[in-house]
A and B are shown apart, each in its own frame.
Chain A
């Protein structure tokens, strides 16, 4: 008897049914001494608790990285990592970067050339009212 795989009726898509955040961990690295970490240190003092409370699904670690520029490193469930150097940034800018890493999916950045991204792309493309025969009344 030949074993047959169960045919899949649909393809799973994140957010359809359930949404799983792709970012699983954010590492915040700072330096106590260097001036480029000033904004990062302010962020950790003032804004981190609010950010961490708003994102309970993301594990957050804080550790020093002496004599280096401050970075935020995101680890994703696809096994990839993304790191952003936040030297000389203000705490508001660092919060933006942290949100960017949190919202990222961990994939490599790709150039988006097509207007529609789909697992079942249309052969005919996007319908346009100007490229039809027109309606004759």
Chain B
């Protein structure tokens, strides 16, 4: 303790100089430590004199090298820069250094700088328009079990479609999730491997095309091939729903309610094209899952490349992260799904206990979700009806809990 206080003393002079330009606000901790420096009333000239003496003593000469005040003045390099800027003249300086007010409210005499010398920040008026960040994950994390199941099925179909087409599997998450063209696709595991069975409304081309690195749908329509035209025709009826692909099967119940005349006409028109085309939108998740072969959950994802692609796509579609440990142990689509779909944590103990099979199967254990009251005990003994009747006959209030 003693040594520290001694060494503080000569530093104290320097410290005051160094902290001369600090803001007026000092936090409580600093204030409590401050007195060792602040109690000595150092005037500026006295301080400079002390500093000069100290420097002379350190260097051992009357003319010490370096700055007069090494703790307060600008360094030699900074001085050099300032002098150079002054030499350049004010005429060139003005357009190069846009002041802040000009940046916030662009005026008519604004001239963009031609070089970056002296600029505090680089970028013009339209700087922010080009930098629009779009995240990889879904903006909202999906929690609904049905949506998660549908997303996993979609990811599986898309990954195996890419594999079937011989394309790199990681292309699956290249594009932002758009229209789901996999609702009508069956994915089954057979002895020869995983097979995709496409329905009337879907094809391998369509799935691959939905994963192609084209974000703008209109760009596709500009020069369509024959197959693309067909695809576009198929898509056209569900175009308005494209932004909200997974929610489509749910919202249909609303649409089912009372169709307007125009809707009925449209339905009648579509009937020629095929019954599935308008049957698809009015499908609930239950129907959708029933239409899939249940064996898709047993499909192996042992291949690390497939597993990674499926998990990446699922992450992109749902925003649900699967922990690394679970990634390693997951071998089938079912096991991935079990990690995606986590049952909500029981809020009450009784809810947790009621899920325990071993406890429920015991004949000597009984559980109650609420407090067991005296009336409950009387009821259990079969006395409560008698008590109630007796109380009423005597004109007494039936109270208690």
Residues of A within 8 A of B (CB): 27, 30, 32, 41, 44-45, 48-49, 52-53, 55-66
The answer to whether A45 and B362 touch across the interface, beta carbons within 8 angstroms, is: no
The answer to whether B353 and A63 touch across the interface, beta carbons within 8 angstroms, is: no
* Min C-beta distance of B355 to chain A, whole Å: 10
The answer to whether B349 and A30 touch across the interface, beta carbons within 8 angstroms, is: yes
CA–CA, A49 to B359, complex, Å?
A: 5
Residues of B within 8 A of A (CB): 348-350, 352-353, 356, 358-359, 362-372
CA–CA, A91 to B17, complex, Å?
A: 62
- Name the residue of chain B whose CB is nearest to the CB of A33: B348
The answer to whether A62 and B365 touch across the interface, beta carbons within 8 angstroms, is: yes
CA–CA, A61 to B365, complex, Å?
A: 6
Given A30-B349, A49-B359, A52-B359, CB of A66 within 8 Å of CB of B371: yes
- Name the residue of chain B whose CB is nearest to the CB of A58: B364
* Min C-beta distance of A31 to chain B, whole Å: 9
- Name the residue of chain A whose CB is nearest to the CB of B368: A63
* Min C-beta distance of B356 to chain A, whole Å: 6
The answer to whether A61 and B366 touch across the interface, beta carbons within 8 angstroms, is: yes
* Min C-beta distance of B346 to chain A, whole Å: 10
The answer to whether B366 and A49 touch across the interface, beta carbons within 8 angstroms, is: no
8 Å CB contact of A48 from B348, B365, B370: B365
User: Which residues of A lie under 8 Å from residue B371 when comparing CB positions?
Assistant: 63-66
Given A61-B368, A63-B367, CB of A32 within 8 Å of CB of B349: yes
CA–CA, A48 to B366, complex, Å?
A: 12
* Min C-beta distance of A63 to chain B, whole Å: 4
CA–CA, A71 to B370, complex, Å?
A: 15
User: Which residues of A lie under 8 Å from residue B372 when comparing CB positions?
Assistant: 27, 61, 63
Given A32-B349, A63-B372, A64-B350, CB of A49 within 8 Å of CB of B367: no
The answer to whether A56 and B349 touch across the interface, beta carbons within 8 angstroms, is: no
The answer to whether A62 and B358 touch across the interface, beta carbons within 8 angstroms, is: no
22 CB contacts below 8 A, A to B, read A44-B353, A45-B349, A45-B352, A45-B353, A49-B356, A52-B359, A52-B362, A52-B364, A55-B364, A56-B364, A57-B364, A61-B372, A62-B353, A62-B365, A62-B367, A63-B367, A63-B368, A63-B370, A63-B372, A64-B349, A64-B350, A65-B371
Given contacts A41-B349, A45-B349, 18 further A-B contacts (CB under 8 A): A30-B349, A45-B356, A48-B359, A49-B358, A49-B365, A52-B362, A53-B358, A56-B362, A59-B366, A60-B362, A60-B364, A63-B372, A64-B349, A64-B350, A64-B369, A64-B370, A64-B371, A65-B371
User: Which residues of B lie under 8 Å from residue A57 when comparing CB positions?
Assistant: 364
8 Å CB contact of B362 from A30, A44, A49: A49
CA–CA, A49 to B365, complex, Å?
A: 9
CA–CA, A41 to B358, complex, Å?
A: 17
User: Which residues of B lie under 8 Å from residue A52 when comparing CB positions?
Assistant: 359, 362, 364-365
8 Å CB contact of B348 from A32, A56, A61: A32
The answer to whether B363 and A56 touch across the interface, beta carbons within 8 angstroms, is: yes
User: Which residues of A lie under 8 Å from residue B368 when comparing CB positions?
Assistant: 61-64
* Min C-beta distance of B39 to chain A, whole Å: 48
User: Which residues of A lie under 8 Å from residue B365 when comparing CB positions?
Assistant: 48-49, 52, 60-62
User: Which residues of A lie under 8 Å from residue B353 when comparing CB positions?
Assistant: 44-45, 48, 62
User: Which residues of A lie under 8 Å from residue B366 when comparing CB positions?
Assistant: 59-62
